[in-house]
Structure 1
Amino acid sequence: METPDHATENPAEASAATGIAAQDWATAAADPQYRAAVVDLLGALAYGELAAFERLAEDAKLAPTLGDKAELAKMAAAEFHHFEQLNQRLTAVDEDPTAAMEPFAKALDDFHRQTAPSDWLEGLVKAYVGDSIASDFYREVAARLDTDTRSLVLSVLDDTGHGNFAVEKVRAAIEADPRLGGRLALWARRLMGEALSQAQRVVADRDALSTMLVGGVADGFDLAEVGRMFSRITEAHTKRMAALGLAA
């Protein structure tokens, strides 16, 4: 996953860490509810990275040139490395990675099935828009996590290069054929709606995660802040649409 421009502005990141955000994993995990929330978060992230690897490998088949195919293969490998990091962390804290991922598999699989791209350009827009929305969400949550978990989460959100690659290819295609802009803009708007709905469903189904977001576990979130968080994610999406040369 990646957030190429790190577009969200998170107030918590600008201030000194307090509470759980200032603790290490060993200290914070003494709270069983916090531990459960983090295991859920890492499980969701791990399955997301595994799905991203599979999708990029599949999208490579649609690539118009050998060079494009090689670029996507390299990005897929980076996503799999992120998956391995999360897998290793779950094992290190005595959690079964498969069990941690399982609750999120159906929702993510449904999302990818409902938003299967019809061509190469739609696949690029999906990776850039859809993955970046997820990365923004996880980056917001990471600001409230313990220091060890936060470091891991931010490392797996590092840009694999897909963002700049997608922008370059999509903008070039629209410049060559401006009629593509309308179709791809509609597609990106659909992705935005589906991605936010999917994120909200996942959180609502997991008590520990939902408690974390509204302030019962990690520091700083309340219902009003959740609303502001989604506003920041929406603003970042608008900026990415502009980078693609599309109307939000």
Structure 2
Amino acid sequence: MKESPGVVDLLGVLAYAELSAFARMTEDAATLAPSLTDRAALSELAVAEYAHFRLLRDQLAELGADPEEAMSPFVAALDGWHAQTAPGDWLEALVKAYVGEGIALDFYREAARRLDPPLAKLVDVVLADEGRSQFAVERVRAALEADPVAAGRLALWARRLVGEALSQGQRVAAARPELARMLVPADADDQAEISRMFARLTEEHGKRMTALGL
């Protein structure tokens, strides 16, 4: 028996998000990491993202959905976000991995709140931090201690990342109504629920900025 379109959409967008994160982190590790230690650390995080992709791909197949078909509606939006937010240096790459990816994953957590327990557990595993926070926070804070002036530039960069992520999320939700209904159920007060959701997203974003020292 196939799952509902909304569930397949959620797992599909998550699967492509994880596959994209793997590819971007691998590229950043190779081109932007300032040391072999940093390259190895980011590569390890990329490997974790790919493991998450495989879990989602296998779950989609188990539910009777074609993984490629499930991911394809989200390729343009996610590729567009990555193209518009290509980091210019190592610190921007770290902020993107922590703040930019973080706000995107928060969206998926919101939708996952309405999944059945077994699938919700899988999404929890996929959205696990895997050390991304500690890796980014330690390096960004150390860099800001050495060069406090960089804080302004990185704060602006983080603001841009979140703005682009929210815009892409809105476009995806508008194009995939079944997925949008997982964010805001049909029987809910749309405006009130959306306001609460954005309040939660904003709160989590604020915590990340504070952690980075921005």
Q: 2:175 aligns to what?
A: 205
C-alpha displacement of 1:141: 1.7
Which ranges of 4 or more aligned residues in structure 1 deviate by more than 2 Å?
Answer: 211-214, 219-223
Task: Pick the structure with more helix per residue.
Answer: 2
Alpha-carbon contact 1:214-1:223 (below 8 Å) kept: no
Instruction: Give the structure-2-normalised TM-score.
Output: 0.95
Structure-to-structure mapping, 1:152-231, within 5 angstroms: 152-216=122-186, 222-231=190-199
For residues 141-186 of structure 1, the C-alpha deviation after alignment (integer angstroms, 9 at most, x for no partner) is 2121111211111110011211111000000001001111110010
Question: Secondary structure at the residue paired with 1:76?
Answer: helix
> Equivalent residue for 2:45?
75
Moved more, 221-230 or 135-144: 221-230
TM-score, structure 1 length as denominator? 0.83
Aligned CA RMSD, in angstroms, stands at 1.5
Higher relative contact order (CA 8 A, sep 6+): 1
Who is 1:60 aligned against?
A: 29
Deviation at 1:214, TM superposition (A): 2.5
1:86 & 1:173 partners in 2: Cα distance? 35
Tell me if 1:148 matches 2:118. Answer: yes
Task: Tell me how far apart the structure 2 counterparts of residues 221 and 145 of structure 1 sit (CA, whole Å).
Answer: 20
CA contact (8 A) 1:133 1:233 kept: yes
The percent identity for this pair of structures is: 60
Name the CA distance, whole Å, in 2 between partners of 1:221 and 1:156: 30
In 1, are the aligned partners of 2:110 and 2:183 still within 8 Å (CA)?
no
Partner of 2:95: 125
Secondary structure of the residue aligned to 1:170 is helix
Q: Using the alignment, how far apart are the partners of 2:158 and 2:198 within structure 1?
A: 17
Using the alignment, how far apart are the partners of 1:194 and 1:63 within structure 2? 24
Name the structure 1 match of 2:69.
99
Pairing 1:40–2:9 present: yes
Deviation, 1:119, is 0.3
The answer as to 2:86 corresponding to 1:116 is: yes
Residues 59, 123 of structure 1: 8 Å contact kept: yes
CA pair 160-84 structure 1, distance change in 2 beyond 3 A: same
Please say if 1:236 is aligned against 2:183. Answer: no
Per-residue deviation, residues 66-116 of structure 1 (Å, max 9, x unmatched): 111110111010000000000000011111000000000000000000000
SS of residue paired to 1:132: helix
1:15 maps to which residue? Answer: none
**Of residues 15, 19, 22 in structure 2, which corresponds to 1:50?**
19
| 8 Å contact kept, 2:81–2:165 | yes
Distance in 2 (CA, whole Å) between partners of 1:221 and 1:203 is 17
> What is the alpha-carbon distance in structure 2 between the residues aligned to residue 222 and residue 78 of structure 1?
36
